[in-house]
Structure 1
Amino acid sequence: MEHHIIAEMTEPGGSTLKEWHMVRGEQPESMCGRELDLSAQKLSSDAWGTDQARPFCHTCGALFLREVP
């Protein structure tokens, strides 16, 4: 399954990052269950665990670790 990282902003359409979340495919819901704006900034799943994808949702990170080899 394809994963990618998407930004959650502090307010809709805002410019301040709250945290990054992992998403399966093109679902509008993150792995932790948050509804996200699909037009928000995205990163490749390869950015997981790097400084580029911090702060990262703890729940999404834990679930992602259990899904990828």
Structure 2
Amino acid sequence: MRHRIVAERLPDGTLKEWHMVRGDEEQVMCGRGLPEGTEELPDDAWGTDRARPFCHTCGALYLREVP
């Protein structure tokens, strides 16, 4: 399954945290709505400095889905 990482931004544009999305789903793995028009990273950026801070719930679910 293909995953992707999307940014959640605060109203002032500051990065709040990164979230994981399964395939082409319309919400992030923790259940929040998918932010529109935000930057994305490939799932292999998970665990790197590029994708920090990361949503704890999305990260835990992602770890259970990938080998």
TM-score range with shorter-chain normalisation?
over 0.9
Q: Is the 8 A contact 1:21 1:30 kept in 2?
A: yes
Q: Which residue of 2 is the match for residue 38 of structure 1?
A: 36
Alpha-carbon contact 1:28-1:37 (below 8 Å) kept: no
RMSD between aligned alpha carbons?
Answer: 1.0
8 Å Cα contact 1:10-1:17 kept in structure 2? yes
Match of 2:3 in 1: 3
| Structure 1 unmatched runs, 5+ | none
> Post-superposition shift, 1:31?
0.5
- Normalised to the residue count of structure 1, the TM-score between the two structures is 0.90
TM normalised by structure 2 equals: 0.93
What is the deviation of 1:15? 2.1
Which runs of no fewer than 5 residues in structure 2 stay unpaired? none
> In structure 2, the residue corresponding to 1:22 is in which secondary structure?
strand
1:54 aligns with 2:52: yes
Determine helix, strand or coil for the equivalent of 2:8: strand
User: CA separation in 2, counterparts of 1:28 and 1:16?
Assistant: 22
